[in-house]
């Protein structure tokens, strides 16, 4: 080891001029690289090739598990996934009367069929959504409406569940951080949801949310008298996303709570004592001391929760199957179901970019990375 040498120079740091300082800086830089080496080696061995391959494959038409020839197709996969087109839908004119046709059953205006007005080149656009604005009717078409739907599902899921997890996790961390008798057991109990195997937990919730009184929730609501007939939580469009969010919040709040708790633990107690003496109330202490000091922990927890939420797979795959996709479960469907590896890789890259944007905006918004 070079410890003797280091000793000499750290001492000289205190007393001697700048020439030595730059020497010290160099040594610090070398130490940094040595310390980073194991992590970088692991990345180089295990992650570099797979990640590079995903980027490359996303520009090809590679078919999964086949000997078929692969062609470079540029941005075609991205175009296929992301092409969106909005156009007006004109009301249909009744040829006999020359007036706008009204549906006799619903009393609503009849509009053109979306398929007739949406473009067919370079590939056919299908209807994703319709909306009215200033008396006009519009249709949103996409070349891959399922993907656009999966993006909207995933982002809604991520924003709502990560927000709820942050609020609940912070509340739980604060409660557990105060001293009380069963604090130790509470910490262990707290981790149970995170510890239940994800695939199994999805099964468990599927069972609890069963569409008849076999399921815990329907049995409970029926007993309480709040519902007349059982609710199909996982089949009806209204409840699918809220159910996914509820399951995820339950499962991952402990992760958030534990990370924030570690952040609280590391805070020196004397700051709070000083604040107490200065007469600052609990709420003021929380806002002016706890939150700012907790910021770095919050940012890291947010980044890793968001990262997982944007890649959510298990619960969508197990509980909703093919009826409603998350981006990752759509990705899985394209790869395994359609064997469209090029397209699946492009989805992977899009998720990658989304995660990156979220991570950067957390860091910028909370101003953590000062330097």
Partner 1 sequence: MKKSSGTFGVLKRFGFNFMIIFILVYLLFPFYWAVNSSLKTESQLFMAPATAIPRDPATLEFSPTMQNYSAVLRDGQFLRGLANSSIVATSTTVLALIAGSFAAFALGKLRFRGRRPALYLILAMTMFPQVTVLTGLYAVITALGLSARVSMIFAYMIFTLPFTTWVLTSFFKELPDALMESAQVDGATTFQTFKSILLPLTAPALVTTGLLAFIAAWNEYLFALTFTSIDPTARTVPVAIAYFAGAVARQEPFGEIMAAASLVTVPLVVLVLIFQRRIVTGLPAGAVKG
- Contact between 96 and partner 1 per CB under 8 A: no
Of 14, 96, 133, 224, the residue at the interface with partner 1 (CB under 8 A) is 14
Interface with partner 1, residue 186, by CB under 8 A: yes
356 binds partner 1 (CB under 8 A): yes
357 binds partner 1 (CB under 8 A): no
For the segment 116-175, give every residue that binds partner 1 (CB under 8 A).
Answer: 172, 175
CB atoms within 10 A of CB 358: 20
* Interface stretch with partner 1, choices 26-34, 67-75, 100-108, 121-129 (CB under 8 A): 26-34
> What are the backbone dihedrals phi and psi of residue 86, each rounded to the nearest 5 degrees, phi first?
-110, 135
Nearer to partner 1, 118 or 209 (CB): 209
Which residues in the 193-222 window bind partner 1 by CB under 8 A? 193-201, 203-205, 207-208, 212-216, 218-219, 222
Show Cβ contacts of residue 13 under 8 Å, excluding neighbours closer than 6 positions: 20, 21, 24
Please compute Rg for the chain using Cα positions.
28
> How many whole angstroms separate alpha carbon 11 and alpha carbon 120?
75
List the one residue out of 370, 360, 347 whose CA is nearest residue 306: 360
Positions 34 through 93 that interact with partner 1 (CB under 8 A): 35-36, 38-40, 42-43, 45-47, 49-54, 64
* Residues 294-333 as x/- pattern, contact with partner 1 by CB under 8 A: --xx-xx--xx--x---x-xx------------xx--xx-
Least distance (Å) between residue 174 CB and partner 1: 10
Q: Is 180 in the site for partner 1 (CB under 8 A)?
A: yes
**CA–CA gap between residue 140 and residue 91 (Å, rounded):** 16
Q: Which of 114, 141, 342, 348 binds partner 1 (CB under 8 A)?
A: 348
Using the structure block, give the residue that is written with the tokens 């590391």: 266
354's tokens: 């989304």
Residues 195 and 187: their CA atoms lie apart, in Å, by 13
CB of 309 to partner 1, least distance (A): 12
- Confirm or reject binding of residue 344 to partner 1 (CB under 8 A): yes
Distances 350 to 43, 129, 335, 366 between C-alpha atoms, Å: 21, 22, 15, 25
């Amino acid at each position: 080891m070079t410890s003797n040498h280091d000793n000499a120079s750290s001492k000289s740091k205190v007393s001697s001029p700048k020439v030595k300082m730059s020497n010290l800086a160099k040594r610090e830089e070398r130490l940094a690289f040595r310390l980073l080496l194991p992590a970088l080696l692991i990345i180089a061995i295990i992650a570099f090739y797979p990640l590079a391959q995903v980027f490359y494959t996303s520009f090809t038409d590679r078919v999964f598990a086949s000997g078929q020839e692969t062609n470079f197709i540029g941005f075609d996969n991205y175009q296929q996934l992301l092409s969106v087109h909005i156009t007006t839908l004109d009301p249909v004119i009744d040829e006999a009367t020359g007036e706008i046709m009204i549906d006799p059953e619903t009393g609503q205006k009849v509009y053109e069929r979306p398929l007739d007005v949406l473009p067919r080149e370079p590939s056919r656009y299908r209807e994703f959504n319709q909306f009215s604005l200033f008396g006009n009717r519009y249709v949103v078409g996409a070349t891959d409406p399922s993907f656009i739907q999966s993006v909207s599902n995933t982002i809604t899921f991520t924003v709502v569940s990560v927000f709820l997890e942050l609020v609940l996790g912070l509340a739980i961390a604060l409660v557990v951080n105060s001293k009380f008798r069963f604090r130790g057991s509470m910490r262990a109990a707290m981790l149970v949801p995170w510890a239940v195997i994800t695939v199994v937990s999805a099964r468990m919730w599927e069972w609890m949310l069963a569409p008849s009184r076999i399921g815990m929730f329907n049995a409970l609501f029926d007993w309480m008298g709040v519902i007349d007939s059982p609710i199909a939580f996982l089949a009806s469009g209204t409840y699918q996303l809220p159910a996914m969010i509820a399951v995820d919040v339950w499962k991952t709040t402990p992760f958030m709570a534990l990370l924030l708790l570690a952040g609280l633990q590391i805070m020196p107690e004397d700051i709070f004592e000083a604040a107490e003496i200065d007469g600052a109330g609990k709420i003021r202490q929380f806002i002016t001391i706890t939150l700012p000091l907790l910021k770095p922990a919050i940012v890291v927890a947010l980044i890793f929760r968001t990262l997982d939420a944007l890649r959510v797979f298990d619960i969508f795959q197990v509980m909703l199957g093919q009826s409603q996709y998350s981006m990752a479960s759509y990705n899985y469907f394209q790869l395994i179901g359609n064997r469209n590896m090029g397209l699946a890789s492009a989805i992977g890259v899009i998720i990658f970019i989304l995660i990156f944007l979220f991570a950067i905006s957390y860091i910028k918004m909370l101003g953590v990375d000062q330097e």
